Amino acid sequence: MNKAFTLYSFKKRILAVLLVISFVFCSLVVRLFVIQIINGQELQSKATDQWTRDLSIVAPRGTIYDRTGSSLAVSYTTYNVYVRGREIKEPSVVAIHLSEILDLPFESLYTKVSNKKTSEVLIKMQVEGEDAESIYKLGLSGVYLAETSNRYYTYGNLLSQVLGFISIDNVGQTGLEAYYNNLLKGKDGYSYVQSDLQGKEIGGSLRYYVGAIPGEDLKLTIDSKMQLILEQTLEKIMVEQKAKSVTGLILDVNSGGVLSLSSKPSFDLNDIPRDNLEELFENSKIKAGTDIYEPGSTFKILTVAAALEEGLTTLQDRFYCPGFRIVDGERIKCWRTIGHGSQTLTEAFANSCNCCFMDLALRLGKDKFYKYMNKFGLGQKTGIDMTGEAGGILMAKKLVRNVDLARMGFGHAIAVTPLQLTSAVASIINGGTFNSPHLVLGGSPIKEKRSESGIISARTSETVNSLLEFAENKTGKYTFVEGYNVGGKTGTAQKYKETGGIDRGKYISSFIGTYPADKPQYLVFIMVDEPSNGAYYGSIVAAPYGKEVFIKLFDYLNEQRQDENVVIEYVEMPDLQNKSLTECALILKELGLEYELDGEGEYITRQLPPVGSKIAKGTTILLITD
């Protein structure tokens, strides 16, 4: 018998065949598992794409409301227009109709509607309902409408930076529209029909529709009436002070809620100027949180609070100002170069004497000064719900010399954002609790806000409030705003070039006001960047507009006067030109007027306001020398 055909060899061959069959079978099982289980959903989706044509249904964005329930940003239905060239029988007719309704050139439309190589072409986005209805009534084969959504801003130019705007495809680009985009955008839906291999719709086939899920709504801390009051005032400042820009806000000092916030120049959210993207970007920034500046005298509120809290000064403490201090061999001038003489802390605060605040900063020393700056949130972001917030600039403590510390004491050699400064001041005047500023009322979309009590004691808070009240009511109680208990502080600071060094002739004027002064609820902030109408001191440029905001705010809130008997007296501006500073000081004191001095000459060469102007007692005027 041939050994090649033994029973043993036959079994081996049978076994080999069975192994091959088993391997093939297992491979097929594995392949089927991969196709049906692992890749099943993906392949089914691809197959669906081949035999169906779908149109997206854009979800309407959530509505944005102010704190009173007034709508600020709402969505409304618009339509995207598509064509499927393979289904169009008369391209020229379709192109003519669409050109007339959509105001598009016939030539480019004809190219698109006669294109049979591409299954679907987008003609125009965000078509208004009236035009979409006109297209629908024509019953043009191969022309499709898909629901989408557009945004309408109720007040147009109001809250431009805070609300922000969306792109043409419904994505938030700036402001709250961008910050809360995932919350506001919702979930898109879709509709689709079955088609053949060429992409033509199969008559009588099934149509599917899955509706869009609208985005969630937002309710802001903003009060639209307060916002209107603020923005009208900022527009007025831009015109009268010929400023580069101006920023303002109203803050609830007890919660950190931003009641109004704006910068000018701005733009209409319903007519966005996209032709100049650089300018649009600049005017879209929430400058109160993105731009830093050297605060000047408004910062003195922080210095005096820290010194009072540490027991390093009292209201009766006296300071002598000869017009300068020499620190580390450097001469640092007070703004009043002839000096303030001997004065109490209360008087020095009202006079905004730099020498007093240099002394206080040096008494605190680096460690204690920086301890309070950290408590007040300087050199760090406030955590407000906005994109692009800056953290300010606080010099590294180890690099600080006494001369640097002295300058910091009166608001120089340090950079803050308006939101940092106002949040810090709020934590001082509200009894000692720091609350992160925020734009959206509490709820699921709000991240955890910083809230820290015990920043300073209630006693220190009361003392600082009394200083602020006296500083703005020099001629008598409740005289800054007739009959109302308003406190405040002004500031003036020089600007710096990007390459370093002081930018001569360019200033930032600011004002911080509080109400009620003895137990504040509201804080008003005004900042004027590069005023160019002849004056730049905060007391002259910014404070009068802060007063206007308060007057309108009291009318809106129906606030009653604290004293009905207060009457502000008015005097006529005298002619002070060519008179000596000493002579002018005596005349102004007799009239009950304050003054700021620009220059170091002996005689007055110009004055603001001009001779004969009717001005209220307690008003600060500007005297200019050589």
Nearest CA-CA partner of 330 in 406, 276, 239: 406
Give residue 188's Cα distance to chain centre: 29
The continuous run of DSSP H or E covering 334 comes out as none
State yes or no: is 580 an active-site residue.
no
Using alpha carbons only, how large is the chain's radius of gyration in Å?
35
Identify the DSSP state of 69: S
**∠ CA 206-207-209 to the nearest 5 degrees?**
145
Backbone angles phi, psi at 196, to 5 degrees: -85, -170
Q: How many CB atoms lie within 10 A of CB 413?
A: 17
Query: Residues 461, 479: contact at Cβ < 8 Å?
Result: no
DSSP secondary structure letters along 374-391: HHTTTTS----SSTT---
Task: Decide: helix, strand or coil at residue 158.
Answer: coil
Query: Residues 207, 94: contact at Cβ < 8 Å?
Result: no
Q: Kindly give the pairing relationship between strand 71-83 and strand 143-153.
A: antiparallel
- Which residue among 160, 263, 297, 461 is the active-site one? 297
Query: Residues 521, 252: contact at Cβ < 8 Å?
Result: yes
Which structure tokens are listed for 7? 């029973």
Query: Residues 148, 166: contact at Cβ < 8 Å?
Result: no
CA neighbours within 13 Å on the CB side: how many for 413?
A: 18
Instruction: List, by residue number, the catalytic residues.
Output: 297
